[in-house]
Structure 1
């Protein structure tokens, strides 16, 4: 190899090391989005428990209003928070871009699967398909935390990923019981709201 080729290889290695180091040093953004998701859908789940258990006497259409309203509220907040996050220092770092894409994939998967479940429910004239929704959410959240943990090298996020995957089949055991909604709310608080608060507290005024 020529001297220029050797130097080029060294430069490439140095660049890759810099990217890896950047991923470990840059605090992850997006904690506020997780807080919003955990809070909005967690509270909606508590209300769903009230409806399902008979504590709240409302017509069946209340479910559609509840979840439709929660979804619209979250989307409105999400658009605003994404714009705010993109303006922060470090938003374009490798770690934040990769984690952002990972969580975007999680969100899109949830949305697409909800549409698929709606089609199945319409075709079968049954809401059984939606009983899998909490398990699906926790399974996908586990994937999101796995990507985030890999890019940030923060071990506690791996624990979250594993906990989400364990919770996915466990929440299925509550299918058919109003307690499923309380379990779902607890999972959203533990796997989205609380870690979102931790991520926000890690954000310095100058990220990088």
Structure 2
């Protein structure tokens, strides 16, 4: 290999390294999706608490209507926000693509688990299966934040991941109490809504 060829290879490696570093520094663009998830499902959890506690008079079918409506609203908002996000500068960076894939996996897992719980509840004629739902969500959110933290190198997101994993078994102690749904709402606000706002505020003006 000649000196010019060696220099060319070196330049190519330096260029690819620069691209990787630049992509790593690109702002994460999923904040608005997290805000929507935290707000929509957090409010649904508060309404669920109201029904469970007797503050809101509603028939048992209201639970299915409540969460079904929340999912439909979120999916509608998700489609719009995903399209807008894909058009923003930095959307194709390695960090954003990996974080997006990680959170998409979380979302699909939540959807499939929800369907499975509906089937179990229908077969068993019991809502006991849904008592584990908040713990599962926090465990999955922790995985999403772990992927995001790794790819973006934003250490504060590791605190969210660990917080979610700690919250998962802790909220299980509220099983059987209407307070579980208030705790779930608080967790959604803390681990989705609030960090979503932080991510949006980190986006530079030209990206927003």
Q: TM-score, normalised by structure 1?
A: 0.93
Q: Which residue of 2 aligns with 1:186?
A: 186
Q: Which residue of 2 aligns with 1:206?
A: 206
- Could you list the runs of 5+ residues in structure 1 that have no partner in the other structure? none
Q: Which residue of 2 aligns with 1:106?
A: 106
1:49-70 CA-partner distances (Å, limit 9, x unpaired): 0000011111111111111111
- Could you list the runs of 5+ residues in structure 2 that have no partner in the other structure? none
Number of equivalent positions: 206
CA–CA distance in 1 between the matches of 2:119 and 2:160?
31
CA–CA distance in 2 between the matches of 1:20 and 1:173?
44
CA–CA distance in 2 between the matches of 1:11 and 1:204?
30
Q: TM-score, normalised by structure 2?
A: 0.93
1:87-145 CA-partner distances (Å, limit 9, x unpaired): 11111111111110110000001111111112222222221111111001000000100
CA RMSD, 1 decimal: 1.6
CA–CA distance in 1 between the matches of 2:8 and 2:158?
36
Deviates more, 1:100-109 or 1:123-132: 123-132
* Post-superposition offset of 1:22: 2.2
Q: Is residue 23–residue 90 contact of structure 2 (8 Å, CA) maintained in 1?
A: no
* Post-superposition offset of 1:13: 3.8
Q: Which residue of 1 aligns with 2:124?
A: 124
Q: Secondary structure at the match of 2:200?
A: helix
Q: Which residue of 2 aligns with 1:165?
A: 165
